[in-house]
Structure 1
């Protein structure tokens, strides 16, 4: 649910700005970017290609979380990149529901939004998908500015589920076609399934480099991320 003014992008850009020209953008439906319907992952890949084309060069590209999955999908689709870095694409499968069957994230999100329950969609994402304690959405509601920002982009959360292929499983066959030099990263304090996912992603991409950042979780510190990017983006 991040964009230029909400989330880590601006802080990461600030860490790199003294050595790189950094471009970062609002994904469609977020911040100042418009929305279009119906959504498709291919449109988001075209958005990234448009940003890359606007730079006038073949740049280094970095994404975090579902943004990292989007970067990988774009590389597999042939979008030109000099190198790519991905931090914790959440290819962790689907959590079980009360009946033991995998949850259908996409259907649940689409249903909540169809009923106009944007807050419910945010809560479902945080608790049922990410695994946060159930008090977290209640705590967020007590921070009006943050809660308003989250609700404003709630309609884009299903887009991320579609980027993840709905099943949230590593598309190893597709990623095996990536020819871009790749750095796949995770945090040492992240959940086991997240770390395993990064290993599988790195194993699928020919020649990919895999790094585990000491002391980091899914909410990686820009100061911890920047040295890895500086070492790789040369």
Structure 2
């Protein structure tokens, strides 16, 4: 592990695995670089140099006093600057939204892979005060309540699932990531519908979607492909339950960044 310094001075932790063309992996909500280790290993086995990093407010990365999507764009730019030229990016879930947002802001990305981005296109958006309520829980010292609120209103998970997860040992590991839910909420709300800059990015784009995943994610991926006619759209049967299958994803990515 090493740290890079983002534009605002925040230290962002990054990890490297393998050798070959470089691909940066951006995880989704409530995850750290550790959660991408399996897919990074699959990428490395496929002949790629895989870079994972802790998005700010997670794992070994720092944070700033004021949350904003632009800070995460600057973090990705710092990771890419440290990774070298011709760096590709794959983002999953909110990480895919962040990746496309950053590309639209001019962050230099050679090729872009977007896995199940939760664009809502103006339908069933979370309440506009969700960010403030998440922040209130964090400020009051209850990040675990921010996690639950985000799962309930930001993601829309069933109450029974949330309660079952909250009673599990895994919840204690996720609870400290409560602050990060503010960033995920901000970036997905800011661009619930992709902007013209995002739709007009010039690098090759591949949109990935599992078959057995949340229906609104299938719809979101399809609608994104319609708004980006030059993008490639691929269904990945091996990816189920809103999770990228490591081997299948590695095959797809390696075939495109090594051609």
TM-score (norm 2): 0.79
In structure 1, list runs of 5 or more residues that go unmatched: 97-101
- How many angstroms apart in 1 are the aligned matches of 2:99 and 2:199? 14
Q: Which consecutive aligned stretches of 4+ in structure 1 deviate over 4 angstroms post-superposition?
A: none
Alignment of 1:6-85 (within 5 A): 7=35, 9-18=36-45, 19-85=47-113
1:114 paired residue among 135, 139, 144:
139
Q: Hey, what's the Cα distance between the residues in 2 that align with 1:191 and 1:153?
A: 23
Shift of 1:76: 0.6
Unaligned runs of 5+ in 2: 1-29
Q: Which has the higher strand share?
A: 2
CA separation in 2, counterparts of 1:38 and 1:135? Answer: 33
The alignment yields a C-alpha RMSD, in angstroms, of 2.0
Aligned residues: 225
Which deviations, in whole Å up to 9, do the C-alpha atoms of 1:47-79 show, x marking residues without a partner?
A: 111111112222111110111111101111111
Is it true that 1:213 corresponds to 2:236 in the alignment?
yes
CA drift at 1:38: 0.9
- Spell out, residue by residue over 1:105-154, the C-alpha distance to the aligned partner (whole angstroms, 9 max, x if none): 3233233333333222111222333232223333333333x222211111
CA contact (8 A) 1:83 1:181 kept: yes
CA distance in 1, matches of 2:68, 2:78: 16
User: Does structure 2 conserve the Cα–Cα contact (< 8 Å) formed by 1:183 and 1:210?
Assistant: yes
The alignment status of 1:127 with 2:152, answered yes or no, reads yes
Q: Residue 193 of structure 2 aligns with which residue?
A: 170
Change (3 A) 1:177 1:76: same
Q: Using a 3 Å threshold, how does the CA distance of structure 1 residues 66 and 56 change in structure 2: closer, same or farther?
A: same
Q: How far did residue 87 of structure 1 move?
A: 0.3
